[in-house]
Chains A and B, each alone.
Chain A
Amino acid sequence: MRAALTRPQRGQSPAVTRTRPDRRQLVRWVVTAVLVLFALFGLPQLISLYYVDTMTQVAVYSMVTLALGVLVGRVGLVSLGQVAVLAIGAWVAARLLFATTQPYPLILLEAGLLTLVAGVLIGLPALRLRGLYLALITLMFAGAITVVLATVNFPNGGTGFLGYNGSLLHIPPIRRPSIASGDPAYYRYSVIVAIIMFALVFVHIKTKPGRAWAAIRRSEPAALAAGINTTLYKLWAFALASFITGVAGGVLAGAVHYLYSIDFPTQDSITLLAVTLMGGVYSLWGAVVAALLYQFLPALLNNWGVSADWLIILFGVGVLQVLTTSPAGLADQFPKDMARLGRALRGRFLRGRFRPPPAAPAAPPAAGSTS
């Protein structure tokens, strides 16, 4: 009965942590920089072309999970239709790439902006709903978009507004930027685009929108009472997520060369939410972990000849585990577990000489708390 009288603990929200430039932070920046440099220059030298393609997909989907992570973790809006948004971005980019000779970065920007417009048009009425209803209406929109895409098809170099010609015999591939036509080069290109998107989100989180989102996530009525324009900032989050997902769609179009509507089924939006929650929605690293789960693990299992269905089962178990025991996901849990393991090992071997520090009180924020 005690729990009935006190509200569940929400913990400190990620956006309002102190920004003290201490050594820990410095280490974190250095590690990030080293990892980024390794991802850009070291990794493509070490792995086969199969895994270069896989890592390109990881870069693309890290943007998608990043966008979804912003919605779920920062604002507390759950979207079950992110794959449909990705499909819109890919469609727009493919249409523009076939129709024009504009440089690729410009196309990506346009794809992002047009997806943003679409996202806002859907979001404007949908954001009047909250919580569960919002999640379900995004599922409905995603289903509707999937049905439309199945009929309209992706552009394949045909003419007209839709750019689809069903009787085309030689379908031209969707072009890539001239500086990145090879697979390793395109991989680096994708990573750089992803880094820009992560930086965009980082800036948002550290500034006014991030603080507004944190307030909205903890309590929308309280945020409203504090003078925050909740509709504006929720719409802003929706727009940002749509923009990033649209750009990711543009990168995806070049990565795969050919797009088909069956590659964007509604159930993928659900799997995507599962991996995003598993990766961790309160940390930007969570998006990378989620993308690795979503794209790298299937490629690895495929290489080993194991059915990807095991992975779906794993994701299902992962969602249940994240929601019941560790709301901050793998990005938060894994380092803690490692630290705990380290302490346990040290305690075992250096007994008497070393005293383990008391474990930090865990007060994880509740996922998607918009009550």
Chain B
Amino acid sequence: MPPWSDFEPFIVSGLALGGVYALSGVGLVVLYRATGVLYLAFGAVGAMGALIAWSLGQVGAPGWVTWLVCIAVAALITLGYGVLFGPALAKRDPLVKAVATIGLTLVLYGAMDLLWTTSGGEARSLSLPTDNGGFSIGQIQVDWTQVIALGAGIVITAGTGAFLRYTKLGTAMRAMANDREITATLGVPVRRVEAAAWLGCGVLAGIAGLLLADLVALDATTLTFLVISSLAAVLVARLRSITLTFAAAIVVGLLHDLLTPITSLTNYRDMTPFVIAAIGLLVLSRRRVMTQSREEA
């Protein structure tokens, strides 16, 4: 077992990673509750945004423009998909809706690999200016990007919670999570509320893509499949509670990074989300309800 001081820097990086997973997870849960779609292309649209931002940066666009473009690209792709395919698949099983987003993932992934080819060994990186500043707690160096990542996770979790509870749109989303048809008969503009959920999820995907491109790597494959880590948190929360999603995401991020200094386990640290999701799902699924009308795991 390495000394405690070896773990200290990884607490900070783990919390930052957990913060991004948390905001991704919150986006996934809200979209799932509002539309019944588990958005598996979340990572891919974020990666697309980040890569476009990188290309803009290469031609000399100012930093803030590239960040906004990153978020806008992710939001527009997500909204476009939701408006095009959401209604067509609205009455289908949640599984079918989730698999359909795999289609979008593959389209984006293929396009990214084609446009920003990785076979040449070209390494890209996207660094935010907040990487340079920072402060230290004792021996631990903390940079502002890490603070922003964790802060964004906390703020977005709390903000979404308040939004769902206190605003009219949030109430409509919660109603749709219960029953889309009844909500529609009560006069809620279902499609518009769904579009709002798609847009919100897309914005979060863009933010997550930007932060992960800085914190982890700017690489289409890595970013596309990092969504699996947030999925693990979402699964532990059973696609319901955003508080639980936040907690699970922080645990996933923290545990993943804390395993790094332990030599015997460091190769297996990428298994963290899978193990947490598997344990969480299997333990939590003990109360099994079988219904005819709605999918309950």
Q: Which residues of A come within 8 Å of B, CB atoms?
A: 3-4, 8, 78, 125-126, 128-137, 139-141, 143-144, 147-148, 150-151, 219-222, 224, 266-267, 270-271, 273-274, 277, 307, 309-320, 323-324, 366-371
Asked if B281 lies at the interface with its beta carbon under 8 angstroms from chain A, I say yes
Say which size band chain B's interface belongs to: 35 or more
Known: A140-B274, A270-B102, A277-B99. A371 touches B114 (CB 8 A): no
The answer for the CA separation of A128 and B282 in the assembled complex, in Å, is 8
B103 touching A370, Cβ below 8 Å: no
At the interface with chain A, which of B7-15, B156-164, B211-219, B224-232?
Answer: B224-232
Q: Report the bound CA distance from A128 to B288 in whole Å.
A: 8
B94 within 8 A of A: yes
Residue among B89, B95, B105, B295 facing the most chain A CB atoms (10 A cut-off) = B95
**Inter-subunit contact A317/B297 (CB<8 Å):** no
Q: Give the residue among A133, A141, A147, A317 with the most B Cβ atoms within 10 A.
A: A133
Q: For A147, give its contact among B94, B271, B291 (CB under 8 Å).
A: B271
The answer to whether A367 and B96 touch (CB under 8 A), given A311-B110, A312-B113, A324-B88, is yes
Q: Which residues of the other chain, A, contact B89 by a CB distance below 8 angstroms? A: 323-324
Smallest CB separation, A249 vs chain B (Å): 21
B253 to chain A, nearest CB (A): 16
CA–CA, A220 to B89, complex, Å? 22
Docked pose: A157 CA to B98 CA in angstroms: 42
B6 within 8 A of A: no
Assess whether B235 is interfacial by the CB under 8 Å rule. yes
Known pairs A277-B99, A315-B103, A368-B96 / 15 extra A-B pairs, C-beta < 8 Å: A131-B93, A131-B95, A135-B98, A136-B277, A137-B277, A148-B271, A151-B267, A220-B290, A266-B228, A267-B109, A307-B114, A311-B110, A312-B110, A367-B96, A370-B93
Residues from chain B with a CB closer than 8 A to the CB of A224 are 290
Closest to A222 in B: B292
Within the assembled complex, what's the spacing in Å between the Cα atoms of A129 and B104?
A: 25
Determine which of B104, B290, B294 lies in contact with A320 in the assembled complex, contact meaning CB atoms within 8 Å. Answer: B104
Which chain A residue has the least Cβ–Cβ distance from B293? A371
The prevalent SS among residues of B at the interface is helix
Q: How far is the CB of A237 from chain B (nearest CB, A)?
A: 16
| Residues of A contacting B91 in the complex (Cβ-Cβ under 8 angstroms) | 3-4, 8
Question: In the bound complex, do residue B111 and residue A140 qualify as a contact, i.e. CB atoms below 8 Å apart?
Answer: no
Whether, in the assembled complex, B168 has its beta carbon less than 8 Å from a beta carbon of chain A, the answer is no
Q: Chain B residues near A323 (CB, 8 Å)?
A: 89, 92, 96, 99-100, 103
Cβ–Cβ < 8 Å partners of A307 in chain B: 114
As a 0/1 sequence over residues 266 to 297 of chain B, the CB contacts with chain A under 8 angstroms (1 = contact) are 01101101110110011001001011111111
Asked if A319 and B288 make an inter-chain contact with CB atoms under 8 angstroms apart, the answer reads: no
Bound complex: CA of A319 vs CA of B109, how far in Å?
Answer: 14
The answer to whether A135 and B95 touch across the interface, beta carbons within 8 angstroms, is yes
Residues of B within 8 A of A (CB): 38, 85, 88-89, 91-96, 98-100, 102-111, 113-114, 181, 221, 224-225, 228, 231-232, 235, 267-268, 270-271, 273-275, 277-278, 281-282, 285, 288, 290-297
B21 to chain A, nearest CB (A): 15
Give the shortest distance, in Å, between B291 (CB) and chain A (any CB): 8
Residue on A nearest B228 in the bound complex, by CB = A143
Shortest distance from the beta carbon of B281 to any chain A beta carbon, whole Å: 6
Partner pick for A144 among B88, B96, B278, CB 8 A cutoff: B278
Q: How far is the CA of A127 from the CA of B228 in the complex (A)?
A: 20
* Cα of A277 to Cα of B105 in the assembled complex, Å: 15
Q: Are B109 and A312 in contact (CB under 8 A)?
A: yes
Contact (A78, B268) CB under 8 Å given A130-B295, A132-B38, A370-B93: no
Cα A299 to Cα B85 in complex, Å, equals 32
Smallest distance from the beta carbon of A213 to chain B beta carbons, Å?
Answer: 16
Chain B nearest CB from A301 CB (Å) reads: 12
Which B residues are CB-close (under 8 A) to A129? 281-282, 285, 297
B228 touches A319 (CB 8 A): no
| Contact present for B271 and A319 (CB under 8 Å) | no
**Residues A366 and B109 in contact in the complex (CB < 8 Å), given A277-B99, A324-B100:** no
- Closest chain-A Cβ to B43's Cβ sits at a distance in Å of 11
CA distance A337 to B109 in the complex (A): 30
Which residue of A is nearest B235, CB measured? A136
Q: How far is the CA of A24 from the CA of B218 in the complex (A)?
A: 56
Contacts of B270 in A (CB 8 A): 143, 147
The 22 listed contacts between A and B (C-beta, < 8 Å) are: A125-B282, A128-B282, A130-B295, A132-B297, A137-B278, A140-B232, A141-B274, A143-B271, A143-B274, A151-B267, A266-B225, A267-B221, A274-B106, A309-B114, A312-B107, A314-B110, A317-B103, A323-B99, A324-B88, A367-B99, A368-B99, A371-B93
